[in-house]
């Protein structure tokens, strides 16, 4: 269901449109006043701005929208709007001052984004300090599924959700549904959050019909299995709806280009600026402490589960089990320098050559050595879904504490969960955020880095 607007939402969005309209026109008038047909130029840039915004959902910002999603959308808005303005400049001016046009569009997006973020954070503070702009909600389902959301609503009042009542499902499901729906109607609740796995198809239909007939927003809470297996993408062949199991954003041509461009630039900077002088130093230290090659080359599974040679600085004495047994804490095979370079992740730096060659990406699901990957593929649900994209030097799972040795089943299960979330919610800003979080984690130190 489409979320109902809050009490003030109907005024905030038109106000935002008006402010943006003023910013665009004022800046266009003062920064690019060289057009022979100013009126037509202004009309075209205004319409292009709002059409682009409509396409990217630039104004579709809700209380649950993440900051990174806003920034990612703003980046796309700026890029396409800049191209449109450069093209319009050729039609509506006697000369084309490209630098001035780019300066204009950049200043527009900065000011518009500033206003947008000001409203976004002002509303969050307003909800906490004054209790306004809140939505009253109820939860219904078993505790195991609804507890995470219960804690989220309780601990994050700035999102503007006021949890009024929880209806726990243990037995007498039909009776609990009637109690919940009666309470929602009498207390004028705004939203119902329902754990979908606790009810039959008929009961779900009953709840949906109630919500539709009483203008109540209904949202479902899936189980973990449903999250990992039901990220559908709807497409139409003529008028026939077809559902794709997963929406792999990195498969789109533009996203593929952006991702590869980022990988090439970033890996080139690391190779030229860091590895060019660090490699000889590391080589001397590794060779001085133990006999063997500088690089450790291991077969790992990458995109579409194809094997590739993954490069690392050697951190162990040469042994026959390097491709069988993963390194563990206090592993006797580790050299002194090996412990240090693994703790600081320096041993992973040669993988930027893998990125340059196209076998890996800077950010993505971490690749496993072949023997371990085959074991996980046979025993861990949805493990193979990680291989829809290139593996990465770092990834979302690693920044969430799931790096290094897999000590429990939860380690690999949660790693898969975060990897799939990354695949289906990829953006270049998410990649940049993960890179910064990785650098911060390295500087701070990670207990699982060994």
pLDDT at residue 112 tops 90: yes
Q: Does residue 39 register a pLDDT over 50?
A: yes
Q: What is the reported pLDDT for 100?
A: 84
pLDDT at residue number 348:
93
Mean pLDDT for 292-313 is 91
Of residues 98, 156, 89, 91, the one with CA closest to residue 127: 156
Percentage of the chain lying above the pLDDT 90 cut:
28
Contact 363, 434 (CB under 8 A): yes
Residue 209 has pLDDT above 50, yes or no: yes
pLDDT of residue 1: 41
Band of residue 134 on the pLDDT scale cut at 50, 70, 90: confident
Structure tokens at 432: 């940049």
User: Per-residue confidence at 133, pLDDT binned at 50, 70, 90?
Assistant: low
Chain-wide mean pLDDT for the chain?
Answer: 83
Q: What is the DSSP letter of 242?
A: E
- Does residue 237 have a pLDDT over 50? no
**How far is 313 from 348, CA to CA, in rounded Å?**
7
Q: Which domains does the chain have, with CATH numbers?
A: 9-130 (no CATH), 135-221 (3.40.50.2300), 251-444 (no CATH)
* Whole-number pLDDT of residue 196: 81
Rank 48-62, 149-163, 285-299 by mean pLDDT and report only the highest. 285-299
Task: State the pLDDT at residue 335.
Answer: 87
What pLDDT band is residue 442 in, cutting at 50, 70 and 90? confident
SS3 289: helix
Q: Under DSSP, is residue 123 helix (H, G, I), strand (E, B) or coil?
A: helix
The pLDDT value given to residue 315: 87
Residue 142, SS3? Answer: coil
Task: Assign 2 a pLDDT band (cuts: 50, 70, 90).
Answer: very low
The model carries a pTM of 0.64
Q: DSSP 3-state assignment of 261?
A: helix
d(CA 331, CA 66): 41
Of 46 and 320, which is predicted with more confidence? 46
* DSSP state letters, 165-222: EEEE-SS-HHHHHHHHHHHHHHHT-SEEEEEGGGS-HHHHHHHHHHHHHTT-EEEEE-
Most confident of 64-73, 112-121, 222-231: 112-121
Structure confidence at residue 241 (pLDDT): 52
Say how far apart CA 229 and CA 342 lie, in whole Å: 35
| pLDDT reported for residue 87 | 81
* Per-residue model confidence as pLDDT tens digits over 147-156: 888 888 888 8
Q: Tell the residue number behind the tokens 């490069």, with chain if given.
A: 311
| pLDDT on residue 6 | 46
pLDDT at 220: 82
Looking at per-residue confidence, does 105 or 217 come out higher? 105
Structure tokens at 334: 């580790």
Q: What is the mean pLDDT of residues 183-188?
A: 91
Please say if the pLDDT value at position 396 is more than 90: yes
Q: Does 32 have pLDDT greater than 90? A: no
Q: Which residue has the higher pLDDT, 73 or 231?
A: 73
């Amino acid at each position: 269901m489409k979320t109902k607007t809050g009490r003030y939402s109907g005024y905030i969005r038109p106000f935002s449109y008006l402010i943006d309209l003023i910013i665009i026109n004022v800046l266009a008038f003062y920064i690019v006043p060289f057009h022979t047909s100013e009126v037509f130029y202004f009309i075209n840039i205004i319409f292009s701005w709002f059409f682009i915004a409509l396409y990217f959902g630039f104004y579709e910002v809700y209380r649950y929208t993440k900051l990174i999603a806003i920034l990612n959308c703003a980046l796309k808005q700026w890029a396409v709007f800049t191209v449109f303005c450069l093209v319009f400049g050729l039609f509506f001016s006697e000369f084309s001052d490209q630098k001035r046009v780019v300066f204009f569009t950049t200043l527009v997006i900065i000011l518009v984004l500033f206003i947008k973020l000001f409203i976004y954070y002002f509303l969050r503070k307003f909800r906490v300090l004054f209790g306004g702009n809140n939505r009253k909600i109820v939860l219904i389902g078993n505790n195991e599924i609804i507890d995470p959301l219960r804690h989220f609503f309780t601990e994050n009042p700035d999102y503007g959700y006021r949890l009024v009542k929880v209806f726990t499902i243990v037995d007498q499901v039909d009776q609990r549904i009637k109690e919940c729906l009666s309470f929602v109607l009498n207390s004028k609740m705004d939203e119902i959050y329902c754990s979908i796995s606790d009810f039959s198809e008929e009961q779900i239909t009953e709840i949906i019909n109630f919500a539709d007939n009483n203008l109540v927003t209904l949202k479902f809470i899936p189980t973990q299995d449903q999250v990992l297996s039901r990220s559908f993408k709807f497409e139409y062949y003529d008028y026939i709806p077809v559902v794709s199991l997963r929406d792999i954003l990195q498969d789109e041509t533009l996203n593929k280009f952006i991702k590869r461009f980022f990988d090439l630039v970033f890996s080139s900077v690391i190779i030229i600026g860091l590895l060019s002088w660090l490699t000889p130093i590391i080589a001397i230290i590794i060779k001085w402490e133990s006999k063997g090659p500088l690089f450790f080359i291991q077969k790992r599974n990458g995109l579409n589960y194809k094997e590739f040679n993954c490069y690392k600085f050697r951190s162990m004495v040469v042994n026959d089990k390097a491709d069988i047994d993963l390194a563990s804490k206090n592993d006797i095979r580790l050299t002194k320098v090996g412990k240090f370079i693994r703790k600081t992740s320096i041993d992973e730096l040669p993988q930027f050559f893998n990125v340059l060659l196209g076998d890996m990406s800077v950010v993505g699901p971490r690749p496993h050595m072949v023997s371990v990957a085959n074991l996980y593929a046979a025993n861990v649900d949805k493990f193979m879904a990680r291989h829809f994209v290139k593996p990465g030097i770092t990834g979302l799972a690693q920044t969430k504490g799931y790096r290094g040795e897999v000590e429990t089943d939860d380690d690999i299960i949660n790693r898969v969960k975060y990897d799939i979330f990354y695949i289906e919610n990829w953006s270049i800003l998410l990649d940049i955020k993960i890179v910064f979080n990785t650098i911060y984690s390295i500087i701070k130190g990670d207990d699982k880095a060994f």
